[in-house]
Chains A and B, each alone.
Chain A
Amino acid sequence: MLDQTPKKVVEREALRINPAKTCQPIGAMYASLGIHGCLPHSHGSQGCCAYHRSHLTRHYKEPVMAATSSFTEGAAVFGGGANLRQAVNNIFHVYNPDIIAVHTTCLSETIGDDIPSLVNQAREDGLIPEGKLVIHTNTPSYEGSHVTGFSNMCRSMVSYLTKSSGEKKNQLNILPGFVEPSDMREIKNILKEIGVPAVVFPDTSDVLDVPQTGKFDMYPKGGVTIAEMNSTGDSQKTLALGAFASEDAAKMLQTKAEVPYEVLDLPIGLSATDRFIEAIVELTGSEPPASITDNRGRLLDMMLDYQQYLYGKKVAIAGDPDHVIAMTEFVVSMGMIPTYVITGTPGKKFVLRIKGILKDINPTAKIKAAADFFELHQWMKNEPVDLLISNTYGKYIARAEDVPFVRFGFPILDRVGHSYFPTVGYVGGMRLVEKITGVIMDRKDRDDPEEVFELVM
């Protein structure tokens, strides 16, 4: 496995090997699926759309519907305007969504297609039926990562759909970040438990975790509605979960509708969830219901009960910046020592933040943004770790180096559960403790000599 990877690390300037990121449009497509009645549309060659749909499907095991402008060489030379016009007309005629969310690709960005004027023209020419919407975001694949694309679509949802009626509503906006449908559902459950009305957007619960009923629905019941999106300008406040995925949209909401915002970490792990709950109860002015405090206590209990298996264990963490930041803080709170912490997404903020979390725990930890799995593997060859936490692509390294492995983040292509069971909130934290202790204890069971093989652990 990965037999060609040498131990010696040589700095690379140009060659990316085994990336820990992918390109912007898939993030935008995912975010668009979190709008009710929306058909995402990829403005570029049809391969992009095929790849993004396939990969999202591999992760969610659910239908992922999206259309494409199907560029051919002519469009690459003369621009994709005609393709977009045809696409918009055909989509409304044949598939009848409430809204089309267009994202660009590296091809249409390089050509320089001006989507807003193309869409305006299409509207003037009557290609967009009355009451139907077309929004867009720019997702140049050669910049940032899939997280950037997600963030861009969230921002565009605000810039196109947020309205201010002039009258404030008793509600909160929550940008949940690039998380699972299960996580979005859990965030809504927490808000419901506390009793705070909120618009959570985007919201892929009931879109990418749809029950089997024997009936296919191209536009499932989930997703933030247009009316809900319109109302976000009247909310009291926006909580943006995860700076990389959510801050831009929150900022846009402030600029556009003067809704103040606060950026929080993804509520993954005890402390980050504490801060999330605190931010809400500060607004409500009352303590959260006992059920929430009880869940907190149960997570804390688990962290204590199993500390001996986690204390001092070295961890490598790879993934998307918001996820990795929260996870790093969480494992530190359980006595583990992050040794290597990387993200494929570029961003100095990431490095600074992780350095802050690790300054007293492991000041010599290797921390890198715009990194890849190849380099992480080389580090691990030089100084091994006890646990690897990453998306599915880490499984090659885990096998090559025989390291316990927890799948976390996007994408997970080879295991069940991520779209059904959350990792956010106290309950999500409990699931993570179960997963992490599970692989470490399994390893101990595998490697302990027979005479010390434990029945009770």
Chain B
Amino acid sequence: MSQTATTLKNENLVEEIVTRYPPKVARKRRKHMVPVKPGTEQTIAANARTVPGIITQRGCAYAGCKGVVLGPIVDMVHIVHGPIGCSFYAWGTRRNQGKARKGGQNFLEYSFSTDMQPDNIIFGGEKKLRKAIEEAYELFKPKAMSLHATCPAGLIGDDVIGVGREMTEKLGIPIIGFACEGYKGVSQSAGHHLANNGLFEHVVGRDDKKAGKFAINMLGEYNIGGDAWEIERIFEKCGIDIISTFSGNGSFDEIAQAHNAQLNIIQCHRSINYMAEMLEDKFGIPWLKVNVIGLKSTSKSLRKIGEFFDDAKLSARIEEVIAEEEAAAEKELAEIRERLQGKTAMLFTGGSRAHHYQALFKDLGMKTVVAGEEFAHRDDYEGRKVIPTIKIDADSRNITELKAERDPERYHPPKSEEEIARLKEEGKLSEYEGMLPDMVENSILVDDITHLEQEMMIASYNPDIVCSGVKDKYIFEKMGIPSKQLHNYDYSGPFAGYHGAVNFARDIDMRVNNPVWKMIQPPWQKRPMIKAEMMVETEKEIRA
């Protein structure tokens, strides 16, 4: 690697970085970087505004709502109300894979927009939105639609929620509006929250159906590169039924049945913990946090689920599956691990993966030296214990905090109140300790990392791989550092579960040990040029 490593102690590096900012920015950014000291109580600033002009990875509320949460639901027509770009960029780029159900529809290959024009901005766009909904209905007769407001639509006062309500009545299918204008909140996170509220209010609970003995919902799993399918494979093998996945390869009908589950498991805590809380408040379904990224953490997650259901047969089956799957994966991993052992990684992801993938890197014998998220909140870093202390600022106050009331008929907790209270007390339900406790000595935790911070941290730590998104990938590679995209997986995957761990190990091995990295310097730059047997003619001389 060509970067000159000026390895600094983590705290010195953070202090060094902030000297490069104007004083006001320095004060802000300092609070978003934590030089990790294991065993001490540390705190981080998060879910705060990005400073204008400071190059960020963050996107907007619309991206969180349509792009992340609603978009993956395969059988709904998702209409974006705005100029064309917002719908165009969210078309097929996130790699949330999905299939039509038997006899059902799949709209993932489509992009729908009202393509607002100047007169829609001047005179209002609701009329065009209504017309677009009618045209979509005539063409596709979908079972449901979602409507997504973009910045200018919201600014001129177009009411997508109201239009949704009105058109639901007119057409007789659920048409749900989301006021997810890009300027809401401070990042995609605001959009996740809005999206969950809408799904909970309008979809969940529509279809009562008796569920199997071990019926769960998988929350915060978006089926990037087929992750959800690998998880389904493992759960099916254990005898655990997934009623619905929020929202990778999601289906409207399945989400409508989610309230019949006995347990919710959360993969991405950031984007979906709202849904889990509301499902518990209204229907009594408890939740537990899992991590199905990494061999050991997948097994640990399965055991947690087994422990919750407390069924001897299920637990025995889970152990069988773990033994079989781990052995098969381990066989493949052993050789790869030899080549990766002791290498270091940096992780810059969205809301949860920088935590999840530390477990998988640990399986591979690798250490994570810097990690951070784009749009996480303090609880994702420090654990849910800090939630009561998080100050609600002006940007968060604008996102409705939905309080779900207990459903008088359908509130059926799977265990007695005392038992659930005990499990919560023991940290076996409703608990997430966050990323910080898993970070190692002399590492750095950083929120909403900026380009400058990335450059300086890379120069100091000289990592063997940096995992991030498409915007940064080629920056790192130009620096001579291998990079792996952890938003879209570089058009590969799955990386979840046991098969996924093996795929990931191969992928990282390929990148870190790619022989090309050793070829960057041309041979003639490696030694001094002293021989001179021929004269070089300049271009001018040749032309003459």
- Closest residue of chain B to A66 (Cβ to Cβ) is B55
* A165 part of interface (Cβ distance < 8 Å): no
Question: Shortest distance in angstroms between B233's beta carbon and chain A's nearest beta carbon?
Answer: 25
A26-B89 Cα distance, complex, nearest whole Å:
11
Contact B21–A19 (Cβ < 8 Å): no
The distance from the CB of B52 to the nearest CB of chain A, in whole angstroms, is: 4
Q: A109 to B543, alpha carbons, bound, how many Å? A: 52
Q: B479 and A215: CB pair below 8 A?
A: yes
Binds A, one of B129-137, B340-348, B420-428, B493-501: B129-137
Whether B478 lies near A22 (C-beta < 8 A) is no
A16/B115 contact (C-beta < 8 A), A47-B182, A69-B52 known? yes
Given contacts A87-B53, A107-B183, A110-B151, contact A47 B88 (CB under 8 A): no
Q: How far, in Å, is A410 (CB) from chain B's closest CB?
A: 12
Chain B 120-152 interface mask (CB, 8 Å, partner A; 1/0): 110000001101100110111000000000111
Counting CB contacts under 8 A, is A64 at the interface?
Answer: yes
Complex Cα distance, B403 from A53, in Å, reads 37
Is the CB–CB distance between B50 and A14 below 8 Å?
no
Please indicate the chain A residues that have their CB under 8 angstroms from the CB of B114 in the complex.
14-16
Q: Which residue of B lies closest to A400 (CB)?
A: B109
A15 to B111 CA separation, bound complex (whole angstroms): 10
Is A302 an interface position by the 8 A CB rule?
A: no
Stretch at the interface among A88-96, A173-181, A222-230: A88-96
Give Cα distance in the complex from A423 to B384, angstroms: 56
The answer to whether A46 touches B56, judged by C-beta atoms less than 8 angstroms apart, is yes
Kindly supply a per-residue 1/0 record for chain B positions 364-385, scoring 1 wherever the CB is within 8 Å of any chain A CB and 0 otherwise.
0000000000000000000000
8 Å CB contact of A143 from B49, B117, B135, B182: B117
Q: Is B222 located at the chain interface by the 8 A CB criterion?
A: no
Return chain A residues, CB-CB under 8 Å to B542.
Answer: none
Contact for A141 among B83, B111, B139, B395, CB less than 8 A? B83
Count of A-B residue pairs with CB < 8 Å = 266
Which residues on B sit within 8 Å (CB–CB) of A76?
151, 154-155, 181, 183
* Contact indicator A3/B106 (Cβ below 8 Å): yes
Residues of B within 8 A of A195 (CB): 543
Cβ of A75: which chain B residues have Cβ within 8 Å of it?
A: 183
Q: Is A415 an interface residue, CB under 8 A from the partner?
A: no
For the complex, is B118 an interface residue (Cβ under 8 Å from A)? Answer: yes
Which chain B residue shows the least CB distance to A43?
Answer: B52
Contacts of B132 in A (CB 8 A): 14-15
Contact A58 B85 (CB under 8 A): no
CB distance B139 to A10 under 8 Å? yes
Tell me if A73 is interfacial: C-beta within 8 Å of chain B: yes
**C-alpha gap A61/B57 in the complex (Å):** 17
CB closest chain-B residue, reference A414? B491
- Chain A residues in 8 Å Cβ range of B22: 89-90, 93-94
User: Is there a chain B Cβ closer than 8 Å to A438's Cβ?
Assistant: no
Assess the B135–A14 pair: CB atoms within 8 A. yes
Interface residues in B89-108 by Cβ distance below 8 A to A read 89, 91, 93, 100, 105-107
B389 at the interface (CB under 8 A from A): no
Which residues of the partner chain B approach A53 to less than 8 Å between Cβ atoms? 471
Determine which of A19, A22, A64, A110 lies in contact with B152 in the assembled complex, contact meaning CB atoms within 8 Å: A110
Q: Report A9-22 CB contacts with B as 1/0, cut-off 8 Å.
A: 01011111111011
Q: Which residues on A sit within 8 Å (CB–CB) of B188?
A: 47
Interface-central residue, A1, A12, A110, by most chain B CB under 10 Å: A110
Given that A88-B53, A212-B478, A215-B479 are contacting pairs, would A50 and B63 also be in contact in the complex, using a CB cutoff of 8 Å?
yes
Complex alpha-carbon distance, A387 and B112, angstroms: 26
Knowing A10-B139, A94-B54 touch, does A4 contact B89 (C-beta < 8 A)? no
Complex CA gap A48/B452 in Å reads 21
CA distance A141 to B182 in the complex (A): 14
Known A13-B131, A14-B135, A94-B20; judge A107-B53 contact (CB<8 A).
Answer: no
User: In the assembly, what is the distance between CA of A78 and CA of B455, in Å?
Assistant: 34
Q: Is the CB of B58 within 8 A of A141?
A: no
A17 to B88, CA, bound (A): 10
Assess whether A50 is in contact with B60, with CB atoms less than 8 Å apart: yes
* Closest chain B CB from A369 CB (angstroms): 13
Question: Are A12 and B478 in touch, CB under 8 angstroms?
Answer: no
Inter-chain contact B135/A46, CB cutoff 8 Å = no
Residue contact B452 to A94, C-beta cutoff 8 Å: yes
Q: Which residues of B contact A453 (CB under 8 A)?
A: none
Query: Chain B residues with Cβ under 8 A from A50's Cβ?
Result: 56-60, 63, 471
Q: A90-B54, A143-B117 are in contact. Are A57 and B521 (CB under 8 A)?
A: no
With A72-B186, A216-B479: A22-B51 Cβ-Cβ less than 8 Å: no
Instruction: Say yes or no: B110 contacts A4, CB within 8 Å.
Output: yes
Decide if A3 touches B100 in the complex (CB within 8 Å).
yes
Mark each residue of chain B from 43 to 76: 1 if its CB lies under 8 Å from any CB of chain A, else 0. Answer: 0000001111111111111110000000000000
Whether, in the assembled complex, B213 has its beta carbon less than 8 Å from a beta carbon of chain A, the answer is no
The reply to whether A90 and B25 form a contact with Cβ atoms under 8 Å apart is yes
In the complex, the answer to whether B83 meets A106 with C-beta atoms within 8 Å is: yes
On chain B, the residues within 8 Å of A140 by CB distance are 118
Query: CB-CB < 8 A to B410: which residues of A?
Result: none
Residues of B within 8 A of A216 (CB): 455, 475-476, 478-479
- Judge if B173 is at the interface, Cβ distance under 8 Å: no
Residue in B closest to A82 when the chains form the complex, CB atoms: B52
A67 within 8 Å of B (CB atoms): yes
Contact B56 A70 (CB under 8 A): yes
> Could you mark each residue 38-60 of chain A with 1 if its beta carbon is under 8 Å from any beta carbon of chain B, else 0?
00010011111011111101100
A13-B135, A143-B117 as given contacts; A89 in contact with B53, CB under 8 Å: yes
B398 interface contact, C-beta 8 A: yes
Which A residues form the contact surface with B (CB < 8 A)?
1-4, 6, 10, 12-19, 21-23, 25-26, 41, 44-48, 50-55, 57-58, 61-76, 83-84, 86-91, 93-95, 105-107, 109-111, 140-143, 145, 195, 210, 212-217, 344, 374, 393, 396
**Ranked 9 nearest A-B pairs via Cβ:** A47-B60, A23-B85, A87-B53, A214-B2, A90-B53, A214-B480, A45-B182, A14-B131, A16-B115
Q: A16-B115, A52-B89 are in contact. List 7 more A-B contacts (CB 8 A).
A: A3-B106, A67-B52, A72-B186, A72-B395, A76-B183, A89-B53, A141-B84
Q: Which residues of B contact A (CB under 8 A)?
A: 1-3, 20-22, 25, 49-63, 79, 82-89, 91, 93, 100, 105-107, 109-118, 120-121, 128-129, 131-132, 135-136, 138-140, 150-152, 154-156, 181-188, 394-395, 398, 451-452, 455, 469-480, 520-521, 543
